[in-house]
Structure 1
Amino acid sequence: MTDTRSAAWDTYSQSKPQRRKTNAKGETTWFNWTQHPDHGPGAEVLSLPSGGRVLDLGCGSGGNVAHLATLGMEAVGIDLSPAQLAKARERWPDIEGMTLHRGDALTFMRGQAPFDAIYSVFGAAYFTDPAEMLPAVHATLKPGGVFAMSQRPAVEGCYGCQASYIPRGPDEEPAVVKRWDYEPDVWAATLKEHGYVDVSVDVIPPPVGSQRTGTLLVRGRRNG
């Protein structure tokens, strides 16, 4: 299963260019929760303390991890795709405080020292059953630590486990990976059932004039 998903995300990596050298503000690193450039909130969502320890579930090509490291955080990323991690190491070769690992997010969290925040931007939390992901994240957070994830809002009437199709070559069937979609109130109730408090679930609207969807942003804290 892991090898199949890894190959799918390697394929996805080939379709995505490296992150820009600078954003619209001229910054060389930045945090982005949405599918739109230079749009939406930033790292403040995570409420990280100075020098905090933070984990990116499905870090991809590493832009968000790199940004947190430049803020003085101990920034850790985990991803299934060797191709994505190679892009991260190529794009951010000299960032101190940034550590990248290859593997499955759930497996990686077992036995880890607690984190001040754990997050997922269209990453592993989107593509893992929340009945498994949410307890694992909760157990890996420090008391009061923040979990946040972003993904596409669910298509009306299409809830629960869905299929995402990743195009491959012209003579190959698309790679298929599972994702989990729910309405905002269901996400909020599910986090609360798993012991999260101060839960918020919002849809960040797309930029003015865009015909694309907004971005679902889910956030909660570990109780205690």
Structure 2
Amino acid sequence: MKASKKTVASPPLLIKSSLAARLKDEIVSGKLSQGSRIVEKFWASRFGVAQTSVREAINILIAEGFATKNSGRSARVTSYSPGKVAQIYEVRAALEGTAARILAQSGQDLSTLEAAITQMSKSIKNRDLAALLEADLAFHLQLCELPGNEVLSQHARMLLVPLFAFVSMRLGGDATLATAWKPDLERHREMVRAIAEGEASLAELTVRNAILRFAERANEIWR
């Protein structure tokens, strides 16, 4: 008699990660539009899974910046008005400029920033938009974490993670747009060079100006 085959259940982490990836695809493709509710019951039925699994997947999306949730309400896809985006970039300029000033004064190792730029360059050549955005985010998070100022890094992460998720949504996964980052790549290099030179005021100004230019470039690409 042959032994009956047993169905091996997928690990809970794998299930929620897979669901989060599927929901993210719905968001980036625009099928789940910006600001729309992510109804747990609907997606549980759609994917044939337990509602708790969808809830856990949504929590991953919230951590990655693709969704937001207020107490007692359904999660919604992240959405920003043009005015809100402009305000975020203004605050980014202040935070990242401050980080650059601290780093210039400390003479700290900048190899993690250089590694992120290298990865951005590779992603542009490969037209891998997802990897490009991941490397770009890593650069700016590292810039704000290297100074060792916990308040600065926490506020930067709160702004940057959902902003980059929103950028991904706005670009809709269009790989051809990866080449639009070429001018910004050199600005990232200029930021690192300015910090490495050790002139604190110049480093801060260079980074502030670069962030504000990134805001202008984002609007150009989105249009």
**Counting strand residues as a fraction of each chain, which structure ranks higher?**
1
Pair in the same fold by TM > 0.5: no
**Counting helix residues as a fraction of each chain, which structure ranks higher?**
2
Higher Rg: 2
* TM-score, structure 1 as length reference: 0.23
* TM-score, structure 2 as length reference: 0.23
